[in-house]
Amino acid sequence: MAYTYDDQNIFAKILRGEIPNNTVLETEHALAFRDINPQAPTHVLVIPKGPYVCFDHFAQEASDAEIVDYIRAVGEVCKAEGVEADGFRLIANAGKNGVQEVPHLHVHILAGRNLGRMLAPAN
């Protein structure tokens, strides 16, 4: 399947500076900022600057430089936020069944409390 990127999504607007954000880290190819509706004491989103809808889109089409920079940025945020001591969760929702709200790749870094089991039982 070919992904189509919608440049009116809210993270595209953040990248263009049209909407403010609480930046944690910026690199050549990535931006990390605090989630506006945090689900844990630490809740940081890391996005690539390029127009990628979701993780598999990025993994298939981004350059090696973008991928290295992005993954390193996740590591930098984990280090800066001190999440390794007590653990954390990394989530990348995708598409309808993944219940992705914003169609620009983002990983959630969640930490600072026990996050419970990975998935709630299906309804």
Active site residues: 106
- Give the integer Cα–Cα distance in Å for 37 and 53: 21
- Give the integer Cα–Cα distance in Å for 12 and 118: 29
Choosing from 12, 15, 21, 62, the residue that interacts with ligand AMP (CB under 6 A) is 21
Choosing from 36, 65, 68, 71, the residue that interacts with ligand AMP (CB under 6 A) is 36
Options 23-31, 47-55, 58-66, 100-108: segment touching ligand AMP (CB under 6 A) = 100-108
Choosing from 55, 67, 69, 100, the residue that interacts with ligand AMP (CB under 6 A) is 100
Query: For the chain, what is the total number of helices (H) and then of strands (E)?
Result: 3, 5
- Sequence-distant (6+) residues with CB within 8 A of 4 are 53
Residue 74 CB neighbour total at 10 angstroms? 17
Options 61-69, 72-80, 92-100, 114-122: segment touching ligand AMP (CB under 6 A) = 92-100
* Interface residues toward ligand AMP, by CB under 6 A: 10, 19, 21, 35-37, 45, 93, 99-102
